[in-house]
Copies of this chain bind each other. A is one copy, B any other.
Amino acid sequence: MEEKVIKAIQDDYPDDFAYCYGCGRMNDDGHHFRTGWHGDRTITIYTPLPEHTALPGFVYGGIMASLIDCHGTGSAALALHRKNGNEVGDGSEPPRFVTGSLKVDFVKPTPHGTPLQALGTVAEIHPKKWRVNTEVYANGELCARGEVIAVVMPDTFLKK
């Protein structure tokens, strides 16, 4: 499996949408999750930091949830961008999504110290609402399943 996402939707977000702690390229202290296409699925790869432990040796669940969250909104943005006739890197501005709901099932303890691969399947369920089902793997083993309902960003999120 590829080890780096080459063309990520987050690289094309407008600057004022690039301060997300999870996936904003302009948030100096954030995780910098990057999400791209992987065949018909979407992928985000992330190696947790040493401090991101639950118990020693295992990844903190909140990091898994964060990965699934931003992977979800990024995947929805990739899918709607493509539906609109655009692709990452073509100079067009991608649509913006926020998270309506997030669900994570922890399948097994996630080993720390290895890259995590989030693989997503995206489905439109409403013109402004997409469902992203994600599997998170470590060393090829399924560790968590996630579901995000991503919603086209409403006006309530406009800068105050």
A118 close to B (CB within 8 Å): no
A55-B101 CB under 8 A given contacts A62-B65, A65-B65, A65-B66: no
**A38→B156 CA distance, assembly (Å):** 32
Q: Mark A62-83, 1 if CB is under 8 A from B, else 0.
A: 1101100110000000000000
Which residues of the partner chain B approach A28 to less than 8 Å between Cβ atoms? Answer: 51
- Tell me how many chains of this kind the complex includes: 2
Which residues of the partner chain B approach A106 to less than 8 Å between Cβ atoms? Answer: 98-102
Are B157 and A58 in contact, CB atoms less than 8 angstroms apart? yes
Chain A residues bordering chain B, tally (CB within 8 A): 43
The one of B19, B65, B108 that contacts A56, using a Cβ cutoff of 8 Å? B19
A89 close to B (CB within 8 Å): no
Name the CB-closest residue of B to A73.
Answer: B61
Which A residues have a C-beta under 8 Å from some C-beta of B? 16-17, 19-22, 24, 27-30, 49, 51-58, 60-63, 65-66, 69-70, 98-106, 108-109, 156-157, 159-160
Q: A17-B55, A20-B55, A61-B99 are in contact. List 18 more A-B contacts (CB 8 A).
A: A16-B55, A19-B56, A20-B53, A20-B54, A21-B51, A21-B52, A28-B51, A29-B51, A54-B98, A55-B159, A57-B160, A58-B157, A60-B66, A62-B66, A63-B66, A65-B104, A102-B102, A108-B156
